[in-house]
Amino acid sequence: MAIGPPSLRSASIEPADVRAPSQAAWDKMTQDERMRAVMALPVATPVDVRPPEGDAYRKVKTGALQALEAFFRRLKQRVYVSSDLAVYYPNETRIVPELFVVLDAEPRDRTKWVVSAEGKGPDFVVEVFTSPEAGKEREAHVDRYAALGISELFLLDRTRRWLRGYRLPRPTARSYEPIPLEEGRFTSNVLGLDLTLEGPRLRFLYGTAPLPEADETITRLGAMLNEAVVMKEEAERRAVDEERRAVEAGLRAEEALKLAEEIKQRADEEARKAEEEGERAAVTEQRLAEALSELHKLKGWE
């Protein structure tokens, strides 16, 4: 991670004098007047204020936003996370942070953030930029966020791949102090997370675990689905094999039973034949005995 003075993209601040009512004016308005005042504030950011930066720039913001949204949703915390949304402070020209977080705020869809209407401004901001600006421009932007009372500001230079963090030392302070880099990380007290860079990608870490981004979650779920499909197919193959083996075993058992019955039948037949032979032998023996007896009688007569 490179070290050096960062310079924030000047496109982060809307130069046109588009302002929300002052807090004093807001306090005097009726509910209907407040609603009309909010609706009158522009939603879109002019192209000359924030020109398109391309897919790589968009992916940095989108990945970080989705990771944070998913994290706080899992924790069931009321945290609002947004990107490139116009933020209106009382009687101030609007700012359009690349990424910002508001604690204790309903995470619903919005087209703009009006501080007077919402009751507070962003607590945490990340600005992503791709080209260096003059030092005085950087100072102006850092000073502006501090003056607005934004607790933490992080600057990411995607091209030169460095990250810087700033923090208000106390809630009433309006001047930032640098957040120290410790073991390659910056700690955000607002989020309770650490920030670091992985190449051009901004990563948030909870302890040692990086918060997964949407594409990583999709990839992981896809891998889990593939694994589940493979396991299901293997289970089905095992079931088919077991059924086949059971059928084969059943056929073998049936054949064995049939063979046993045939053997028994042959044995019974042999026994029957033997019994018949025995009976015939007995009859023959009896007849022979009778014949001998008759023969002896005849000899006696002689």
pLDDT digits (tens, 9 = 90+) for 119-157: 999 999 998 877 655 445 566 778 899 999 999 999 988
- How is residue 192 written in tokens? 């309770």
Instruction: Name the β-bridge partners of 103.
Output: 79
Greater pLDDT, 200 or 72? 72
Spatial contact of 153 and 145, defined as CB atoms under 8 Å apart:
yes
Q: pLDDT confidence of 17, banded at 50, 70, 90?
A: confident
Mean pLDDT on 22-28: 96
- How is residue 163 written in tokens? 């990250």
Q: pLDDT confidence of 14, banded at 50, 70, 90?
A: very low
Q: Which amino acid is at 174?
A: R
pLDDT of residue 223: 37
Q: pLDDT confidence of 76, banded at 50, 70, 90?
A: very high
Highest mean pLDDT among 37-46, 131-140, 185-194, 205-214: 185-194
Range with the poorest average pLDDT among 1-15, 173-187, 256-270: 1-15
Interior angle at CA 258, CA 253 and CA 260, nearest 5: 95
Structure-derived torsion over alpha carbons of residues 267, 268, 274, 280, reported in degrees to the nearest 10: -160
Q: pLDDT confidence of 235, banded at 50, 70, 90?
A: low
pLDDT of residue 271: 79
- What is the rounded average pLDDT for all residues in the chain? 81
Predicted confidence (pLDDT) per residue in 86-121, tens digit: 999 999 999 999 999 999 999 999 999 999 999 999
- Answer yes or no: is pLDDT of 179 > 90: yes
User: Which secondary-structure segment (H or E) carries 103?
Assistant: strand 99-103
